[in-house]
Amino acid sequence: MKPLVGISCCTKLFGTFGMVNHAASDTYIRATHEVVNAVPVLIPANGDACDIDTILSRLDGIILTGSRSNVQPSLYDGPPHAEGTPEDPARDSMTLPLIRAAIRNGTPVLAICRGMQELNVALGGSLHQRLQDLPGRMDHSTPMQPNGKVRTGKAHSVSVVPGSWLHRVAGATTIGINSLHNQGMDRLAPGLVVEGTAPDGTVEAVRVATARGFAVGVQWHPEYDWMTDAVSRAILASFGDAVRARVGALGAVAD
């Protein structure tokens, strides 16, 4: 049987009456099915009602997704967001304790975009809310125009740390990535190590050095272009290898 990989959801309003739904983009579903070679399982953003122990007892890996919403500043002692900035408290209340428990448990974690920001906050780091407002920083946000290939196309390079996990996966010290975020890493959480940076110094990839298992974050979206980009596919495949290794290890213990 294939492993089960949990995919974090956001709360979003849908329909005529704006009812709350739990949602994740189809890009994560397809990448999990076609590259990770696992069965995707959506994890609802149900806040404190989330039964994390039960979830981790059933799932073999976790993907933390990107989102338009920002992590609540109160969770890292930051100033309030600018008016109109989308937040998702129910998601934050689910993902942050899930991250900490998954790392303790040795469950493989792949954190993408907002997911990487959640990873940093969950472990004690902080965030910049709008990188484009900082002196010397690039605008890392999504181009607001209708052409999807431009919105999700390569936006800038990343310098990869030699000898890092990302270096081994990418097979290069410089890669091109898409860029669709406003928030970015400020204070790096204890236990996180930098795997790659943007030309302006923004942290673009991290690894949890103290984790029992696979736990990495990338600020871009490999699930958007794994069909055409070898590095994106390799990142997802590396996570898939870790998931299967985890399943194998647990199976050996059970035997």
Catalytic residues: 113, 221, 223
Tokens, residue 70: 């920002």
Where do runs of H (alpha helix) occur along the chain? Answer: 26-31, 52-58, 89-105, 114-122, 148-151, 165-170, 222-225, 230-254
Using alpha carbons, select from 99, 9, 11 the residue that is nearest to residue 52: 99
Q: How far apart (Å, rounded) are the C-alpha atoms in residues 139 and 180?
A: 9
- Mark out the alpha helices in 78-204 (DSSP H runs): 89-105, 114-122, 148-151, 165-170
The total of other beta-carbon atoms located within 10 Å of residue 112's CB is 28
Question: What backbone phi and psi angles, to 5 degrees, belong to 31?
Answer: -65, -40
Under 8 Å CB-to-CB from 232, ≥6 apart: which residues?
A: 222, 223, 224, 225, 226
Residue whose entry in the numeric block shows the structure tokens 């990343």: 158
Cβ count within 10 A of residue 83: 5
